[in-house]
């Protein structure tokens, strides 16, 4: 009996049927993909993905046998060069006349540059292209830390941007700093950048002081594993151990 997976039921490719849908797989394996994203993956003739774990990769291949992993980060090269390569691969599927889906972990529009670049390029060439939302690390943080960005406002930066621009910010409003591990790294994510982390800590100490309690947060990627929330004084931040996905949450000063 033939395989019924949509990726194996290809019609004749052509420019009239080619389209692009960018989806998010969410943070947690299996549990965070929306029905809309699942449908886009199932119906695609070409699926390109970049995800953070083997379980999500296996799930994508189960949903569609045409799923293919995008190449790894180019060694020793700026991340933007890898992103440009991914966009070229995705556009190649469109030009070949395929109904194309690209999947990225988390929310495909949050810290995912290639997704927006691919949609813009596709639209410029006349192909229909849309992005579907996914459950982001921010959505998980709000739930796990029981914080609300509504009443008191919300300040959100990448750690690298915050350190390089040193913007004026409000210590009476929660501050969220993303991608803490790669605060000073222009290339592929590697080890914790301790030099950059020390500089970031010193910058924050000027406004909050060493005893202000902060949270190093890591969203769970597995339904069987709890999220990690390390509560510690800001003065200890530069020496803390954490994984690549860690985010820094700085509560507002009281009073």
Answer whether residue 143 shows pLDDT above 50: yes
Residue 168 confidence (pLDDT): 95
Answer whether residue 181 shows pLDDT above 80: no
Tokens of 105: 């972990």
Contact of 106 with 28, CB cutoff 8 Å: no
Domain residue extents for the chain: 6-131, 137-250
Q: Which of 105, 208, 217, 249 is catalytic?
A: 105
The size of the chain, in residues, is 255
Same fold flag, 6-131 and 137-250: no
Q: Which tens digits make up the pLDDT trace of 4-17?
A: 344 444 555 555 67
Residue 14 confidence (pLDDT): 55
Please say if 105 is a catalytic residue.
Answer: yes
Q: What is the mean pLDDT of the chain?
A: 88
Residue 190 confidence (pLDDT): 55
What's the topology of domain 6-131?
A: Cobalt-precorrin-4 Transmethylase; domain 1 (3.40.1010)
Answer whether residue 191 shows pLDDT above 70: no
Answer whether residue 3 shows pLDDT above 90: no
Residue 245 confidence (pLDDT): 80
Q: What DSSP string describes 134-203?
A: ---HHHHHHHHTT--HHHH--EEEEHHHHHHH-----TTS-EEEE-GGGTT-SSS--S--HHHHHHHHHH
Residue 184 confidence (pLDDT): 53
Residue 109 confidence (pLDDT): 93
Instruction: Tell which wins on pLDDT, 111 or 23.
Output: 23
φ, ψ (nearest 5 deg) of residue 94: -65, -45
Q: Which of 83, 208, 217, 249 is catalytic?
A: 83
Answer whether residue 1 shows pLDDT above 50: no
Q: Which of 58, 61, 79, 244 is catalytic?
A: 79
What CA–CA distance (Å, rounded) separates 201 from 194? 10
Residue 15 confidence (pLDDT): 55
Q: Helices 35-43 and 54-63, interaxial angle, to 10°?
A: 60
Q: Which tens digits make up the pLDDT trace of 60-106?
A: 999 999 999 999 988 888 888 999 999 999 999 999 999 999 999 89
The architecture that CATH gives domain 137-250 is 2-Layer Sandwich (3.30)
Closest CA to 89 of 50, 146, 32: 50
């Amino acid at each position: 009996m033939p395989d019924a997976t949509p990726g194996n039921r290809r019609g004749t490719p052509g420019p009239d049927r080619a389209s692009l849908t960018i989806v998010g797989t969410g943070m947690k394996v299996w549990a965070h993909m929306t029905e809309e994203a699942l449908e886009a993956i199932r119906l695609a003739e070409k699926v390109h993905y970049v995800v953070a774990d083997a379980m999500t990769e296996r799930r994508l291949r189960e949903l569609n046998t045409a799923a293919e992993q995008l190449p790894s980060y180019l060694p020793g090269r700026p991340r933007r060069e890898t992103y440009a390569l991914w966009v070229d691969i995705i556009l190649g599927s469109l030009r070949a006349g395929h109904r194309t889906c690209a999947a990225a972990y988390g929310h495909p529009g949050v810290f995912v540059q290639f997704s927006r670049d691919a949609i813009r390029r596709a639209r410029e060439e006349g192909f229909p292209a849309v992005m579907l939302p996914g459950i982001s690390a921010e959505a998980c943080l709000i739930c796990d830390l029981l914080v609300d960005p509504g009443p008191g406002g919300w300040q959100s930066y990448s750690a690298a941007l915050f350190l390089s621009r040193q913007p004026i910010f409000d210590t009476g409003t929660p501050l969220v700093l993303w991608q803490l591990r790669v605060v000073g790294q222009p290339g592929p994510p590697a080890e914790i950048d301790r030099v950059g982390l020390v500089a970031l800590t010193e910058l924050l100490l000027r406004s909050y002081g060493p005893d202000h309690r902060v949270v190093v947060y890591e969203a769970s990627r597995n339904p069987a594993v709890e999220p990690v929330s390390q509560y510690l004084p800001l003065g200890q931040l530069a020496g803390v151990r954490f994984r690549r996905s860690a985010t820094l949450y700085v509560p507002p000063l009281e009073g």
